[in-house]
Amino acid sequence: MQLYKTQQLKVYNSLTSTKELFEPINEGHVGMYVCGPTVYSNVHLGNCRTFMSFDMIFRYLRHLGYKVRYVRNITDAGHLEDDADDGEDKIAKKARLEQIEPMEVVQRYTVDFHNILQKFNFLPPSIEPTATGHIIEQIEIIKDILDKGYAYEINGSVYFDVKKFNEDYEYGKLSGRKLEDMISNTRELAAQDEKKNAQDFALWKKAEPQHIMRWPSPWGDGFPGWHLECTAMSTKYLGENFDIHGGGMDLKFPHHECEIAQAEACNGHSPVKYWLHANMLTLNGKKMAKSTGNNILPDEIFTGNNNILRKAFSPSVVRFFMMQAHYTSILDLSNEALLASEKGYQRLMEAIAGLGNLKPGVTSDFDVKEWRQRCYNAMNDDFNTPILIASLFEGVKHINLIKEGKEQLTEEDKHILTQTMNSFVFDVLGLENITDAGKDSEKLSGVVELLIQLRNEARTNKDFSTSDKIRDQLAALGIQLKDSKEGTTFSVS
Catalog residues that contact Zn ion under the rule CB under 5 A: 35, 230
CA-based end-to-end distance of the chain: 50
Residues 6+ apart with CB under 8 A from 207: 213, 214, 221, 222, 223
Q: Which is nearer to Zn ion, 34 or 68 (CB)?
A: 34
For residue 255, the minimal CB distance to Zn ion (Å) is 5
Q: Which is nearer to Zn ion, 72 or 455 (CB)?
A: 72
Reference 278, options 228, 244, 306; nearest CA is 244
Other CB atoms within a 10 A radius of the CB of residue 410 amount to 14
Is residue 80 within 8 Å of residue 89, measured between CB atoms? yes
Q: Which is nearer to Zn ion, 110 or 467 (CB)?
A: 110
Q: How far is CA 474 from the centre of its chain?
A: 36
Q: Which is nearer to Zn ion, 227 or 311 (CB)?
A: 227
- Locate the DSSP E strands across 168-271: 201-206, 222-224, 242-248
For residue 32, the minimal CB distance to Zn ion (Å) is 13
Q: Which is nearer to Zn ion, 245 or 326 (CB)?
A: 245
Q: Which is nearer to Zn ion, 260 or 355 (CB)?
A: 260
Query: Cα separations (Å) of 227 from 7, 35, 39, 142?
Result: 35, 10, 16, 12
For residue 259, the minimal CB distance to Zn ion (Å) is 6
For residue 18, the minimal CB distance to Zn ion (Å) is 23
For residue 246, the minimal CB distance to Zn ion (Å) is 10
For residue 406, the minimal CB distance to Zn ion (Å) is 53
**3-state helix vs strand vs coil in the chain, percent to 5:** 50, 15, 35
**Helical pair 315-323 and 335-354, crossing angle rounded to 10 deg:** 100
In terms of phi and psi (left: phi > 0; alpha: psi -120 to 50; beta: otherwise), the region of 315 is alpha
Q: Which is nearer to Zn ion, 246 or 395 (CB)?
A: 246
Query: Cα separations (Å) of 188 from 150, 182, 195, 199?
Result: 22, 12, 11, 11
For residue 328, the minimal CB distance to Zn ion (Å) is 19
Other CB atoms within a 10 A radius of the CB of residue 339 amount to 16
For residue 48, the minimal CB distance to Zn ion (Å) is 17
Q: Which is nearer to Zn ion, 274 or 366 (CB)?
A: 274
- DSSP for 115-135, please give it: HHHHHTTPPPPSB--BSGGGH
